[in-house]
Structure 1
Amino acid sequence: MQHIQILEYSPELQPYFEQINKQWVTAFFELEEFDRKQLEHPEETIIAPGGAVIFASDAGKVVGTVALSKVSNDVYEMIKMGVSPEERGKKIGEFLGLGILKKAKAMGGRKVILYSSSKLVPALSLYKKLGFREVPKECGKYGRCDIKMEIDL
């Protein structure tokens, strides 16, 4: 994975954030209004309130992305992790996961949470590998999510 690099968000990368995430969300679920807002306007909905978006690039080609949404001064939510279908199975998700956890820590995070679905078995396996553990989920956060996980940084 020496050829894969992390790229910080820039406006010209927004279409990749939208495309990669819309692909996986619509493959398993329906795109919800909050998805559209985050994917089409990440600067306003994710970055301006204190979050971040990063990308994985392989030889200049964007192959994956993940974001952090600020929950509080020291808690972030990992959101919108996706890898291009043709690039899956190459540990890019793990690379992105480690990168976003490092970013959260650099931004003052002490904990990262995430919400997922039991339908997403490979993703859940990845989250466990990264050190996330399952915790009780509060009601009503996201309709499609039935699992909450967290990691202390």
Structure 2
Amino acid sequence: MVQIIDYSPELQPQFEKINKEWVEKYFTLEPFDLEQLGNPQEIILNKGGAILFAKEGEEIIGTVGLAKSGENTFEMIKMAVIPKAQGKKVGQLLATSILEKAKSMGAKKVVLYSNTKLEAALNLYRKFGFKETPPECGKYGRCDIKMEIEL
């Protein structure tokens, strides 16, 4: 049984480890990535964001972040699922949970930046109602797809 839990400081190493492995698989880690992964409290949470984890038993198997990017807008960031949990609908559970969290925080819109290499993730986002908008690279300078959803 997978449960969704909120970030707590003792889980910071898990957030960093899972995401570093995931980002390195598809991208080059940029200084901004390292800053987020090494200090999510300051970069994400203290600015009005959230981090959720998927936990199975005692093991953390996935995570997703939500960064405040405007008055009623949030950016979904750093969704990652460990390899052995791929295909078990963990991403679907994390996406549902983070969108509910965004609504509870007053979000009217959630945006995300993705990459065409992540076709399975793009299909998941489309399933939730994310729509592609004209490409716009974010802070990372490596995106080729911007998606957003009105809540």
Please list the CA deviations of residues 10-38 of structure 1 after superposition, one character each: whole Å capped at 9, or x if unmatched: 00111111111111111111111000000
1:120 paired residue number: 118
Q: Trace 1:2-151 onto structure 2 (pairs within 5 A).
A: 3-139=1-137, 141-151=139-149
Report the number of matched residues.
Answer: 151
2: CA distance, partners of 1:126 / 1:138: 20
2: CA distance, partners of 1:73 / 1:40: 25
Question: Is the contact between residue 2 and residue 56 of structure 2 (CA under 8 Å) also seen in structure 1?
Answer: yes
1: CA distance, partners of 2:142 / 2:99: 24
Please list the CA deviations of residues 14-71 of structure 1 after superposition, one character each: whole Å capped at 9, or x if unmatched: 1111111111111111111000000010000000011010000111211000000001
Secondary structure at 2:69 match in 1: strand
Pair 4,137 (structure 1): closer, same or farther in 2 beyond 3 Å: same
Please list the CA deviations of residues 92-142 of structure 1 after superposition, one character each: whole Å capped at 9, or x if unmatched: 000000000000000000110000001111111111111111011335543
Structure 1 segments (4+ residues) deviating >4 Å: none
2: CA distance, partners of 1:22 / 1:142: 15
The AA in structure 2 aligned to 1:100 is I
2: CA distance, partners of 1:74 / 1:139: 20
Pair 132,72 (structure 1): closer, same or farther in 2 beyond 3 Å: same
Identity %: 57
2: CA distance, partners of 1:58 / 1:139: 34
TM-score normalised per structure 1: 0.95
2: CA distance, partners of 1:36 / 1:138: 22
Structure 2 stretches lacking a partner, 5+ long: none
The AA in structure 2 aligned to 1:36 is L
TM-score normalised per structure 2: 0.97
The AA in structure 2 aligned to 1:142 is Y
